[in-house]
Amino acid sequence: MEHGSFTDNSAATFSLTDEDHTIANAVRFTLNQDPRVTFCGYSIPHPSEAQVNIRVQTTGDPAREVLKDACQNLMLMYRHVRCTFDKAVEHFKASNAVKALKIDSQDSSGDDSEESE
């Protein structure tokens, strides 16, 4: 999964199977935001195979740690998006009471199962 050198672990290529642009572009974006990264990019060797190669070069930190941090950041970002989205939908429903009544009566079971998580 990781193709790097044993002596220098600040640069490595990570090969992910069963992935495509969806996750790769998002990971590349968060990697770029990290100040420890000098170079990052992703490529898809062949469109018929679901494989992605992510290349990370850092300023000294081990590349896999930086990738792990980037994935962690991405997860937190998505979690925050989800919370904000939930709140925005609640707010919208509350402010549009008439429409909300029609939608809520259909999806009340769905919302209950969500809140109990």
Partner 1 sequence: MAEGVGEEKKKFSIWDLPDVPMGQVPPHLELQRSRVSCNKDAPIHTESIQYSGAYASMGIDNSSRLDRFSNNFRVEVVQLNKDDMEFDMIGIDAAIANSFRGILIAELPTMAIEKVLIANNTSIIQDEVLAHRLGLVPIRVDPRLFEYLSENDQPNEKNTIVFKLHVQCKRGRPRITVKLDALKWLPNGSELVKETRNATSDSSSKPETYTYFGCSQETIPEFVKNPIIPKYPDIIIAKLGPGQEIELEAHAVKGIGKTHAKWSPVATAWYRMLPELRIDCNCRRRATVARPRVCTLCRECIRGDDWEKRVALRPVKDNFILKILEEKCERVITELS
Interacting residues toward partner 1 by CB under 8 A: 20-23, 25-26, 28-29, 32-35, 37, 73, 75-82, 84-89, 91-93, 96, 99, 102-103, 106-107, 109-111, 113-114
Least Å distance, CB 57 to partner 1, is 13
Of 67, 73, 72, 115, which Cα lies nearest the Cα of 90? 115
How far apart are the C-alpha atoms of 113 and 15, rounded to whole Å? 37
20 Cβ contact partners less than 8 Å away, ≥ 6 residues apart: 44, 50, 52
Least Å distance, CB 20 to partner 1, is 8
Least Å distance, CB 98 to partner 1, is 12
